Chains A and B, each alone.
Chain A
């Protein structure tokens, strides 16, 4: 693990993204549209909204993240830069870490924009601390990005990759998705402080296990 190498790959990805801004724009627009869709689906003055809104918020990130994640390695494959990347004197693990960090930056950017948007659109009163709700979402997104980036590399050589990616990532993330929804509801409805929620610890440990497995197995994906 070499931080300089990781940083240079992240920088490269960010520079490519800042030129085209395709992924960011799509992700942001998609987040906006799906928030609106969920908003149309419910009566804004109904008391039920209070219960379902945390789930909506989290699903918006899952779907928007799916859109961005599928690009992480596929972009390299399509433009043929993957070979260059694997020829560079960087260990495979560092490439994976760099992709995870890059994806995380994208997700956090979307989160910073979408979270206030959600509060405005749904006219939502968070019972607990807003920072806690934000942190729960961040932990969920870390898990999502770790599994998603790894699986994005896994499906590179498959047919109809974007489709297969969703089928593989969502089942593996099911525990994280469920646990994050439970903790979000606890923070946003029952006003329980972050550190006394058991589910969030469980989700975090699951993410750690996934991260360890991913770094152990990544060499096998890149060998070709």
Chain B
């Protein structure tokens, strides 16, 4: 059975319902941060920590989008099949949306936790670095006309750009950072969730993942149609 418009609408409606439910639960039912983690009386992080449920997912999807760009680029250079180039470029397009979401969420978190929307924390800086890499990748694609050359060059840049992902991931451990740690380190213990928090986290994570896959599929389809259209145009001349 082919995935049609009707199924897509149903999928999105269900997704929205689940996300809205989870968001409501996160915002109104989930308890505040445990007392020993608060830094002072009236700490805004008491409820402000809930931004974690939205920025963490965006970060994970950003990494996944980068990984798809990497895989698509490597496979394209190996097989020279344009399909993989289209997958890589679609992933970059969707990825830049999620990176923007990540940056906005990060800025809100930063304002709540540290008192300024942008305070050049290593996490924020390296996330911005990821955004710039995707922007560079997409602008290189607009500057090359020949389809094969474009695919080859952007694949090389896509592999190069993946360097940013490990760097972003380890940024808050190797630099002095105020960002909450995900793992236990020498300086601080990792941030952990209770059972209901973890369930909501997983629900939101799955929804974000489905949304990413759906957007990737949609972009891939549009790109493919666009290529067919371009071929027809070129055939007529």
Using CB atoms and an 8 Å cutoff, list the residues of chain A in contact with chain B.
154-155, 157-161, 164, 167-168, 170-172, 174-175, 178, 202, 206, 209-210, 213, 217, 220-221, 223-224
Contacts and interface: CB of A to CB of B under 8 A. Distances in A.
A167 B136 contact: yes
Q: Give the interface SS of chain B, mostly helix, strand, loop or mixed.
A: helix
18 contacts: A154-B156, A155-B153, A158-B140, A158-B143, A159-B144, A160-B143, A164-B139, A168-B157, A170-B132, A171-B129, A171-B135, A174-B125, A174-B129, A213-B160, A220-B77, A221-B153, A221-B156, A223-B152
B77 A157 contact: no
Contact of A164 (B140, B155, B156): B140
A206 B170 CA distance: 13
A170 B156 CA distance: 16
Given A159-B145, A172-B133, 10 more contacts: A154-B140, A154-B153, A154-B157, A159-B144, A168-B139, A171-B129, A174-B125, A175-B126, A213-B159, A217-B159
Given A171-B132, A172-B161, A155 B143 contact: yes
Contacts of A158: 140, 143-144, 153
Given A213-B163, A217-B156, A221-B153, A164 B143 contact: yes
A-B CB proximity, top 4 nearest: A171-B132, A158-B143, A168-B136, A164-B143
B41 to A, nearest CB: 35
Contacts of B129: 171, 174-175
Choose among A157, A168, A174, A210 the residue with the greatest number of B CB atoms under 10 Å from its CB: A168
Contacts of A164: 139-140, 143
B146 interface: yes
A144 to B, nearest CB: 15
Contacts of A167: 135-136, 139-140
B186 interface: no
Given A171-B136, A172-B133, A157 B153 contact: yes
B149 interface: yes
Interface of B: 77, 125-126, 129, 132-133, 135-136, 139-140, 143-146, 149, 152-153, 155-157, 159-161, 163, 167, 174
Contacts of A172: 133, 136, 160-161, 163
B144 A157 contact: yes
B144 A168 contact: no
Contact of A210 (B135, B163, B174): B163
Contacts of B161: 172
B92 to A, nearest CB: 13
Contacts of B144: 157-159
Contacts of A224: 149
B143 A220 contact: no
A206 B145 CA distance: 32
Given A178-B125, A210-B163, A220-B156, A157 B132 contact: no
Nearest to A174: B129
B132 A174 contact: yes
Nearest to A154: B153
B236 to A, nearest CB: 24
A159 B144 CA distance: 6
